[in-house]
Chains A and B, each alone.
Chain A
Amino acid sequence: MHYFPTLIRLQEFPCVSGYAYGFLPPLQKLCEGLFDSVSVTPAGSLLCMRHGVDARKTILLDAHMDSPGFMVSMITPNGFLKVQKIGISDNNLLPSLDVMVYGKQPIRGVFASKPPHIMTPEERAKAIGDQDLLIDVGFTEAEAEEHIQIGDLVTFSPCVTLLQNGYVSATGLSSRLGILSLLHCAQLVQHQTLPFHVACLFSTGYHTNNRGISSAIYLLNPDMLISLDACPAAFPDIDKRLLCQTEHGPVIHVCDAHGLSLSNALIDCAKENGISHQIMASPSGVCSQSDRAFTSFEGVPTAVVSLPMRNLHSPHETACLTDAEQTARLLASFVLHPEKAVIPCK
């Protein structure tokens, strides 16, 4: 898996909850040859199957493909675009940020901000409010209405940068690196017999109502679910004792709200195969996608494996590529010998 060039190629395809359909063609291309079947679910997610020897058991591996973004909610009388957030963004990072507005064609724009010398001291001391997010596309109202309508998608301008020591910074990295890591896992087991069915789900709705994972669980009734996610890596002044580190391998979450059996099996697998990993306690839940999955329909034992990520939820999420490789290795090792993780229903 050539992570950096693939991230560059995927840049031109936005993928935000509610607008993920444009991302499916390039993703399907990356899946070519790796799976026995590839289909789009009724929730618009991509479901890729590898058949296993024991057809009665299915492992579901999930990587969400959608990133946070924005939606045009109004065109103001002076041609600015009022936008609403989709998913989490830090308002303090937005002023003067480059964006792409997907109207009739992609259009460039900038997050507007008031000049500091006309702000009151109170305004300057506060973050810009959700109701005040405006995009400057350089148009009058009439010109804007020609090209853009309410409901159109806005994203951070895509950007992928190679930093030192195998670190990469990119928009949407927390979802895209997970996708590539899962595809890398599929490559590692491409020519090997798998004991159980393995379903790789590239889900949508992670940042909204988790419709992708809900649909897949209904369709497959899997025996176990491993969800790929990203969690904040150590940063100065934050209690390091509670955070993970980059370059130390994937984080395996120990979460009481997911049951502990699957995460224990993953930890054993990592130790037996010499894969570097970290363990994080996640009391009462990890993220809404996996928390919800555990209790959906007939339920499914769940574990979350996270990529340690710096600058999470910013336009420049940053990770070390070796962590993605180790994550792929962990998942591959697990699906080759998942027997110990099967929880007997007495």
Chain B
Amino acid sequence: MFNSHYALMKEFASRLSVSGREHDFSNDLKAWMKPFADTVSTDAMGNLLLVKKTAVLDAPRLLLTAHMDQVGFMVTHIENNGYIRLSPVGSVNPIAYSNIPVKFSRGSKGILVAETNCKPEEMKPNKLYADIGTISLKETEKYVQVGDVCAIDVPLMKLKGSRIAGAALDNKASCAIIYKIAQLLSAEEALPFEVGFAFTVQEEVGCRGSKTIAYSFAPSYALNFDVTPCYDTIGSIPGNVRLGKGAAIKIRDNTVIVCKTIVDSLEQTAKEESIPIQREIIASGGSDTGVLQLTRQGVAAGSLSLPCRHIHTGTETIDSKDFDAIVQLALAWIMKGKVFEFESLG
């Protein structure tokens, strides 16, 4: 259906899904993913779960997760003169969001600007406001209402080589990765365990959605897919992850220390399949992996991350080679039954 990784990611990234308003994108994902799963459900928070069942009784359950929400803004107030006041949803660097084009829930396009004469040291997300060209509260309300959302409107573009840049690759690229894995799995023979594909909500505001869907599905094993920062840009602090160096196997972020056996299992598979990998430890930032690990009596949880530069901007940049490496690694790991090596140590 999508004839290249680029076409796939471009389609996914074009959908607006600010945290708390993932519904429309969720419906699209449901339609795209349906051929690859046996059951589909949505929970109270809006998480989307598709399950590929197994004939084996009492089989263990593996959950693959990717958050489907993106950072953006929610409209909380409209001024009498039509300007739109916003609250940031997720971690937003106000400098990256000043003077940018945005798109709103009901389709309107506009600009996001900073209050005039705001000093750099005073810049905070609530100094940003949006203008869609209207001149009164009444006029604005025809197009945008309190409770609507908006996000950066920068479509994906191809850079040289296999690199792609644009907005919302965090985390539409990982949703695309899960799509590819599900597609490839559907062509394979039946598995001896159940696989859940969960597209979670509200990760950007504190890993909120993954908690409830993991509780419902009650997996024994889980693999999370998200982007991870690269340390190879000008001015970056030193760090290991680089764009194009391969699938990043998460060792640690500020929500989780992944168990050694999990890391070893993924690395071993990569070695056997000659898939390029790199170890990921990040200086700051979290993911749904920690939430997965804490579910019920404990879950053996790991994570494969897509290296991404300039996260939470309109110029997020990834390498299709890394995308491919993650899909291949996850698939090989699942098909080889390596899930049974996923042991949760202390």
State whether B299 touches A131 (Cβ < 8 A). Answer: no
A208 and B259 CA atoms in complex are apart in Å by: 13
B residues 250-291 in Cβ contact with A at 8 Å: 251-252, 255-257, 259-260, 263, 279, 281, 283, 290
A43 and B292 CA atoms in complex are apart in Å by: 12
Query: Known: A71-B251, A84-B283. Contact between A204 and B294, CB under 8 A?
Result: no
1/0 per residue, CB under 8 A from A, across B323-346: the answer is: 000000000000000000000111
Does A316 sit within 8 A of B, measured CB to CB?
no
A residues 93-110 in Cβ contact with B at 8 Å: none
- Tell me the nearest residue of chain A to B250, going by C-beta: A151
State whether A84 touches B281 (Cβ < 8 A). Answer: yes
State whether B297 touches A43 (Cβ < 8 A). Answer: yes
State whether B238 touches A44 (Cβ < 8 A). Answer: no
A18 and B301 CA atoms in complex are apart in Å by: 13
CB of A58 to closest CB in B, whole Å: 15
Does A41 sit within 8 A of B, measured CB to CB?
yes
A146 and B212 CA atoms in complex are apart in Å by: 43
Among A73, A150, A151, A211, point to the contact of B294 (Cβ < 8 A).
Answer: A211
Does B158 sit within 8 A of A, measured CB to CB?
no
- Tell me the nearest residue of chain B to A23, going by C-beta: B346
Among B237, B239, B256, B344, point to the contact of A44 (Cβ < 8 A).
Answer: B344
State whether B239 touches A74 (Cβ < 8 A). Answer: yes
Does A315 sit within 8 A of B, measured CB to CB?
no
A residues 52-90 in Cβ contact with B at 8 Å: 65-66, 71, 73-74, 76, 82, 84, 86
State whether A41 touches B298 (Cβ < 8 A). Answer: yes
State whether A20 touches B345 (Cβ < 8 A). Answer: yes
Does B140 sit within 8 A of A, measured CB to CB?
no
Does A28 sit within 8 A of B, measured CB to CB?
no
CB of B216 to closest CB in A, whole Å: 15
Does B228 sit within 8 A of A, measured CB to CB?
no
State whether A82 touches B238 (Cβ < 8 A). Answer: yes
Does B124 sit within 8 A of A, measured CB to CB?
no
State whether B279 touches A149 (Cβ < 8 A). Answer: yes
A62 and B141 CA atoms in complex are apart in Å by: 56
Does B293 sit within 8 A of A, measured CB to CB?
yes
Most buried by A among B252, B283, B299: B252
- Tell me the nearest residue of chain B to A72, going by C-beta: B281
Among A151, A209, A219, point to the contact of B256 (Cβ < 8 A).
Answer: A209
State whether B279 touches A150 (Cβ < 8 A). Answer: yes
Among B237, B256, B281, B346, point to the contact of A212 (Cβ < 8 A).
Answer: B346
Q: How many residues of B contact A (CB 8 A)?
A: 26
Does B138 sit within 8 A of A, measured CB to CB?
no
A135 and B338 CA atoms in complex are apart in Å by: 35
Residues of chain A within 8 A (CB-CB) of B279 are 149-151
State whether A209 touches B294 (Cβ < 8 A). Answer: yes
A317 and B50 CA atoms in complex are apart in Å by: 51
Residues of chain B within 8 A (CB-CB) of A150 are 240, 251, 279, 281
1/0 per residue, CB under 8 A from B, across A200-240: the answer is: 00001100110110110011000000000000000000000
Residues of chain A within 8 A (CB-CB) of B106 are none
Most buried by A among B257, B260, B296, B300: B257
State whether A20 touches B239 (Cβ < 8 A). Answer: no
A76 and B238 CA atoms in complex are apart in Å by: 9
A73 and B231 CA atoms in complex are apart in Å by: 12
A23 and B346 CA atoms in complex are apart in Å by: 9
Does A45 sit within 8 A of B, measured CB to CB?
yes
Residues of chain A within 8 A (CB-CB) of B252 are 18, 71, 84, 151
State whether B240 touches A43 (Cβ < 8 A). Answer: no
Does A42 sit within 8 A of B, measured CB to CB?
yes
A74 and B251 CA atoms in complex are apart in Å by: 12
Residues of chain B within 8 A (CB-CB) of A71 are 251-252, 257, 281
State whether A42 touches B346 (Cβ < 8 A). Answer: no
A66 and B346 CA atoms in complex are apart in Å by: 9
Residues of chain B within 8 A (CB-CB) of A17 are 257
Among B263, B281, B293, point to the contact of A211 (Cβ < 8 A).
Answer: B293
Residues of chain A within 8 A (CB-CB) of B251 are 71, 150-151
CB of A222 to closest CB in B, whole Å: 14
CB of B258 to closest CB in A, whole Å: 8
Residues of chain A within 8 A (CB-CB) of B296 are 215, 218
Residues of chain A within 8 A (CB-CB) of B237 are 131
State whether B298 touches A43 (Cβ < 8 A). Answer: yes
A residues 8-41 in Cβ contact with B at 8 Å: 17-21, 23-24, 40-41
Query: Known: A151-B252, A204-B346. Contact between A44 and B259, CB under 8 A?
Result: yes
Among B238, B239, B297, point to the contact of A42 (Cβ < 8 A).
Answer: B297
Residues of chain B within 8 A (CB-CB) of A211 are 293-294, 298
CB of A184 to closest CB in B, whole Å: 22
CB of B235 to closest CB in A, whole Å: 13
Among A18, A76, A131, A149, point to the contact of B257 (Cβ < 8 A).
Answer: A18
A151 and B255 CA atoms in complex are apart in Å by: 15
State whether B297 touches A44 (Cβ < 8 A). Answer: no
17 new A-B contacts at CB < 8 Å, known A20-B346, A45-B346, A151-B251: A18-B346, A21-B345, A21-B346, A23-B346, A24-B346, A42-B298, A43-B297, A43-B344, A65-B346, A66-B346, A71-B257, A73-B240, A73-B283, A150-B281, A214-B294, A218-B297, A218-B298
Q: Which 8 A-B pairs have the closest CB atoms?
A: A44-B346, A18-B257, A20-B346, A42-B298, A204-B346, A43-B298, A151-B251, A215-B298
22 pairs from A and B in contact (CB 8 Å cutoff): A18-B252, A18-B259, A21-B346, A24-B346, A43-B346, A65-B346, A71-B252, A73-B283, A74-B239, A82-B238, A84-B283, A131-B237, A131-B283, A149-B279, A150-B279, A150-B281, A151-B251, A151-B281, A205-B346, A209-B290, A214-B298, A218-B297
Residues of B bordering A, CB below 8 Å:
237-240, 251-252, 255-257, 259-260, 263, 279, 281, 283, 290, 293-294, 296-300, 344-346
Residues of A bordering B, CB below 8 Å:
17-21, 23-24, 40-45, 65-66, 71, 73-74, 76, 82, 84, 86, 131, 149-151, 204-205, 208-209, 211-212, 214-215, 218-219
